[in-house]
């Protein structure tokens, strides 16, 4: 009976490991495809009308400088949007990486650092390349310093929180826990992105592109780590057989 349960668990784990690369490749391909599609439509001006309509839906029709909802909602949006800002992300990652280093988990620490730092460079490079102006039809309710496309907050919250989520899901086999952790990471990224539009500092297409590119990069980073882990396991399995 014990062997049967062990074999079942091992079989489920093997199935998961076999399907994960396929899923990650699909997300990478879809994310890049969506990002390039939005970028193309933005360049052609085909998405401007939709961007304007969606942005104004979040503003008082009689006063575009006033976002819809009570005053506390604007304050909440500012606090939520901070979750995608560099100070919060850097501080959170510093704490996590510090713990991983103290626990002598150098591999996961390097994974988190490279995933987010390279993602940051990619975000800034895309902003410089497309150099899209910020929305000018509503008042900006948050401080801005860079170009608009893609949304750095949307992209980096997606990269950072999905990267951290993958560290947790590797530690548990309960599907409900794994689904919960990933859902929380996605929900935070979605809320951060919506807050950028609500605050008037991004066009909706900026946010959608940030989500798409962030999901693609986070999935690609996870794919690379999964491939390296599988290669290491194969080498470890082959070592006893070769007498190493």
Tell me, what DSSP letter sits at residue 145?
Answer: -
pLDDT, average across residues 49-56: 94
Where in the sequence is the domain holding 81, given as residue range(s)?
26-224
Q: Is residue 15 part of a domain?
A: no
pLDDT in tens, 131-145: 999 998 888 888 888
The number of C-alpha atoms within 13 Å of 201 and in the hemisphere containing its C-beta is 21
Find the largest Cα–Cα distance for the chain.
Answer: 79
How many structural domains comprise the chain? 1
pTM of the model: 0.86
Q: Is residue 239 part of a domain?
A: no
Strands 63-67 and 59-60 come out as: antiparallel
Contact present, 48 and 149 (Cβ < 8 Å): no
Q: Is residue 20 part of a domain?
A: no
Coarse DSSP helix, strand, coil percentages of the chain, rounded to the nearest 5 percent: 80, 5, 20
Alpha carbon 37 to its chain's center: 19
Q: Is residue 232 part of a domain?
A: no
pLDDT in tens, 178-225: 999 999 999 999 999 999 999 999 999 999 999 999 999 999 998 888
**pLDDT at residue 8 is higher than 60:** no
Q: Is residue 241 part of a domain?
A: no
Q: Which of 66, 18, 30 is nearest to 218 (CA)?
A: 30
pLDDT in tens, 72-123: 999 999 999 999 999 999 999 999 999 999 999 998 999 999 999 999 999 9
pLDDT, average across residues 54-61: 92
Q: Is residue 235 part of a domain?
A: no
Q: For residue 44, what are the contacts with CB-CB under 8 A and spacing of at least 6?
A: none
Q: Is residue 4 part of a domain?
A: no
pLDDT-based confidence at residue 228 (cuts at 50, 70, 90):
confident
Q: Is residue 113 part of a domain?
A: yes
d(CA 101, CA 105): 6
d(CA 193, CA 27): 19
């Amino acid at each position: 009976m014990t062997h049967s349960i062990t074999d079942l668990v091992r079989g489920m784990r093997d199935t998961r490991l076999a399907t994960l690369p396929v899923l990650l490749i699909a997300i990478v391909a879809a994310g890049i495809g969506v990002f390039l599609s939005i970028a193309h439509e933005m360049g052609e001006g085909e998405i401007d009308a939709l961007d304007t309509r969606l942005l104004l839906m979040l503003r008082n029709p009689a006063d575009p400088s006033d976002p819809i909802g009570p005053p506390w909602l604007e304050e909440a949006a500012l606090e939520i949007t901070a979750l995608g800002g560099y100070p919060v992300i850097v501080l959170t990652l510093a704490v996590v990486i510090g713990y991983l280093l103290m626990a002598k988990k150098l591999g996961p620490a390097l994974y988190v650092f490279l995933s987010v730092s390279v993602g940051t460079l990619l975000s800034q490079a895309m902003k410089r390349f497309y150099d899209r102006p910020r929305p000018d039809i509503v008042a900006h309710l948050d401080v801005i310093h860079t170009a608009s496309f893609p949304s750095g907050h949307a992209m980096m919250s997606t990269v950072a929180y999905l990267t951290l989520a993958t560290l947790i899901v590797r530690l548990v086999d309960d599907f409900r826990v794994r689904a919960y952790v990933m859902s929380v990471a996605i929900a935070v990224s979605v809320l951060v992105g919506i807050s950028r539009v609500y605050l008037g500092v991004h066009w909706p297409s900026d946010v959608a592109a940030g989500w798409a590119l962030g999901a693609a990069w986070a999935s690609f980073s996870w794919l690379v780590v999964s491939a390296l882990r599988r290669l290491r396991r194969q080498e470890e399995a082959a070592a006893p057989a070769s007498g190493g």
